[in-house]
Amino acid sequence: MKRTVAQLADGRELIYFDERDDSVRDAVDRRSLPPPPVASELRYDPVLDEWVAIAAHRQTRTHLPSSDECPLCPATVDRPSEIPASDYDVVVFENRFPAFSHRASDMPAEAVVRSGPAAASRSGAGRCEVVCFTAEHGGSFASLSPSRVRTVVEAWADRTAELSARGDVELVFCFENRGEEIGVTLHHPHGQIYGYPFVPPRVRRMLTSARRYAADRAGANLFADLLAAERATGERIVAENEHWTAFVPAAARWPYEVHLYPNRRVPDIPALTGPERDAFGPIYLDVLRRFDRLFGRPAPYISAWYQAPTRVDRDLAYLHLQVFTIRRAPGKLKYLAGSESAMGVFINDIRPEEAARHLREVAA
């Protein structure tokens, strides 16, 4: 794989990940663009002990353009885009409408309390990137080849390692939103990477549980024991290979939700070995294609990597991926209504064991 760093017209970084070592990347972005926005504002919620990003510039981000105006397709003479090249394999670039940014603002880097606990705020430092999985506008992650998935994994690993080394990033989050039902604003197959300036609340809660579990069980790892239990019973296993296991969690919140764990505990994507990276593509593609076959149409889903924080609790973490669809039946979606949105209490209409059986039955 060849890695080439370039720069867009407004100074944002762009990185090509090419599968051919002889690829030449000398195309220049000739657009006239305004300067990138500065860092957003973070405001602290003392009731929930959470930070909220206020990023008003994102209100004007591109929304469902026609295919001939897609900003993620390769550029042409008549239609410039975010990728100046006429073709590409995998590309990562700084988001034009970032929720977090390293570009300085007039906000302080550390929290400042001005008039009480509800007024604590600071700069939304960090980094937001876009990952284009393919130059083909009409494709999807599920239509990629295993070799292309391997290239995507290399891009995830590269960006996780580089962003983890930044002083303003506490956790690197690689994810994909797919489908208008999820809220996707660009149809081109792509994902995103957030370099958070704090450890997100869900991860903090997971690590608190892992710390308590380790204290109660002579240092045992919660995630490793959970995976071992699923592999032992096999009731909720959807697919597995030498290096990975895909299963529906016993307390699944979503109608169809699958977790993919490497069989060896590692903190993050860069820690995966070559064989583990090779083995990920086939099993993940299998899971995504099962999702699409459930109801005979493309599944709207969120795919989220849970990695260790960059500086704390790395010994407690266990890299894994969660992918779930909000479709619960043909023509029916799972909405986060009163209980889920207001109280955080999920109510699942499908037994996890039945969901696992359905997913096993739709194998190719």
Strands 237-240 vs 13-18: parallel, antiparallel or unpaired: unpaired
The answer to whether 73 is a known ligand-binding residue is yes
C-alpha span between 322 and 258 (Å, rounded): 6
Beta-bridge mates of residue 74: 83
C-alpha span between 282 and 77 (Å, rounded): 37
Give the CA angle between residues 11, 86, 151 to the nearest 5°. 80
C-alpha span between 22 and 114 (Å, rounded): 56
**190 classed as catalytic:** yes
Q: What is the CA radius of gyration of the chain?
A: 21
Instruction: Considering the candidates 102, 187, 190, 320, report the single residue annotated as catalytic.
Output: 190
Structural tokens at position 277: 């990276």
C-alpha span between 105 and 95 (Å, rounded): 17
Is the distance from CB of 26 to CB of 19 less than 8 angstroms? Answer: no
Is the distance from CB of 53 to CB of 124 less than 8 angstroms? Answer: yes
The answer to whether 132 is a known ligand-binding residue is no
Binding residues for Zn(2+): 70, 73, 137, 188
Task: Give the residue numbers annotated as catalytic, written as ranges.
Answer: 190
Binding residues: 70, 73, 137, 188
